[in-house]
Structure 1
């Protein structure tokens, strides 16, 4: 199948995108109530987040830091102007949590930002909510407010220290990076199919178990080769050849099940691995696999790409081998390859089992 996990989207991309959308909604809300100072501030913040949406692909750490600073400034100013009752100050708690749980190796600047957010929340509470200039404030009001705020942010910081949220996030972050790198290593860039290296790994893992397979566990290997591909490249150019490779890759993907695997073996050759899906009582046989390959062949034969109002099409030749007739994968590959060339030598555009 096409490797659908080949996404290079950074971990925090959606979070910054969410902040960008939120800022746009605030922009129109502030405009409607005539708070133009907030409109200007929100506009600047929106531009910063828009830049970060693209910059995050270059440097995720800096993009996240700038986005957190933007949010801290924006929600602090909004709370000062609109008041406590609109709850914008609560975003400082969320931003503080995000700042102390970032997965980046150098987190000192994020911890400093988290402390600043704690202090800002404290100042806002006393200056905006309690109005510290009010001489009617009692000792208990000040005391309980102070201890509750310190306790709230203290618990967040303590939990980070004890539960090691940032360490766990860092581990997950690097695991995600490793999977992305592995994905790149195993994926053919043009077709987005698995590549030869991935095929070697997959096939070597099942090689030793072939003699012990039950009827339901037996599998098929098929070679697919584009007919007259060199002539197509020579006549129309390699760009057209690449377009045909992509077209055929998409057909192979659409005509197979999720339990099957497709690899670009090299050049104009593909290798297909057919396995019986888990939970299916009846295993694969020659008739079933032949039917799948024949449908693929017919679909390719009827398909084409259009260049300058001219339709360009091609055909494929396929050869398949079963694990029932081989003792190891290497023999299966040789047999499938041999049958494919039998098809080539007998007229092309056919399936040989």
Structure 2
């Protein structure tokens, strides 16, 4: 079709250029028509170039927009990853802070704060359901002698090893913590005096087997213990006081022993 059109255009151009055709009455209108045709072709060609240029610009803009969107998506993904890492870091930090606030820095077992929280929970449970619990207070016998003779570093090692033994020997539901200095508290939920005494006696036996080497010397320790069972209506602080009095009694009676608290002790 293009070949036919080209041939026709060449024929018309040839006819218009022939001198003999100048006298032909169709020459003038055909010449004008031919000029109009060329003008229209030039316009079409110009429009076509403008259209191509516009499409090229539009395509470039579209690609540019896609690139910008891709870049923004990459930035958002980066921000999301940073946010995830930040949230994980905050989670780990909160966990570490919680650990630091509820566990003893030296031994790693529960500290007085966590013991207080659990004691309150057990007291509330006892109030609602009538489930009694027992508290054991333990103190390392003659611990000052270890610090005086071997130094506080050795004393700290002994406390760390002792805490490990206590945590290993208590039951899964029990909570063992450092109450202060060389004194430890063991919370025994839903446990009466007899059952609590069995647990504490096993703990004391394991403590007797504990040794800490200092140069060529093996250091050994014993603990004294006092146990009190929570009485209905009694605050846990009073239960602790009765267990502490039982511990003092064990000390007075020669140490390395366990005494049970009297319900009437103040």
Contact 2:126 2:232 survives alignment (8 Å): no
Which of 1 and 2 has greater Rg? 2
Rounded to whole Å, the distance in 1 between the matches of 2:106 and 2:211 is 18
Deviations 1:7-40 (CA, angstroms, capped at 9, x unpaired): xxxxxxxxxxxxxxxxxxxxxxxxxxxxxxxxxx
Rounded to whole Å, the distance in 2 between the matches of 1:198 and 1:324 is 22
Rounded to whole Å, the distance in 2 between the matches of 1:347 and 1:193 is 28
Counterpart position of 1:251: 165
Rounded to whole Å, the distance in 2 between the matches of 1:258 and 1:156 is 50
Alignment equivalent of 2:228, drawn from 295, 299, 321? 321
Counterpart position of 1:290: 197
Given the two structures, how large is their TM-score scaled by the length of structure 1? 0.50
RMSD of aligned alpha carbons: 3.0
Rounded to whole Å, the distance in 2 between the matches of 1:245 and 1:251 is 10
Counterpart position of 2:258: 351
Rounded to whole Å, the distance in 2 between the matches of 1:272 and 1:226 is 14
Matched length = 198
Counterpart position of 2:48: none
Rounded to whole Å, the distance in 1 between the matches of 2:169 and 2:70 is 55
Gaps of 5+ in 2: 1-62, 261-266
Counterpart position of 1:242: 156
Rounded to whole Å, the distance in 1 between the matches of 2:227 and 2:73 is 60
Rounded to whole Å, the distance in 2 between the matches of 1:224 and 1:249 is 11
Rounded to whole Å, the distance in 1 between the matches of 2:161 and 2:125 is 35
Counterpart position of 1:232: 146
Counterpart position of 1:89: none
Rounded to whole Å, the distance in 2 between the matches of 1:154 and 1:233 is 65
The structural deviation recorded for 1:169 is 5.3
Contact 1:210 1:328 survives alignment (8 Å): no
Contact 1:226 1:314 survives alignment (8 Å): yes
Instruction: Return the structure number with greater strand share.
Output: 2
Residue 217 (structure 2) pairs with residue 303 (structure 1):
no
Which runs of at least 4 in structure 1 moved beyond 4 Å after TM superposition? Answer: 152-161, 163-169
Given the two structures, how large is their TM-score scaled by the length of structure 2? 0.65
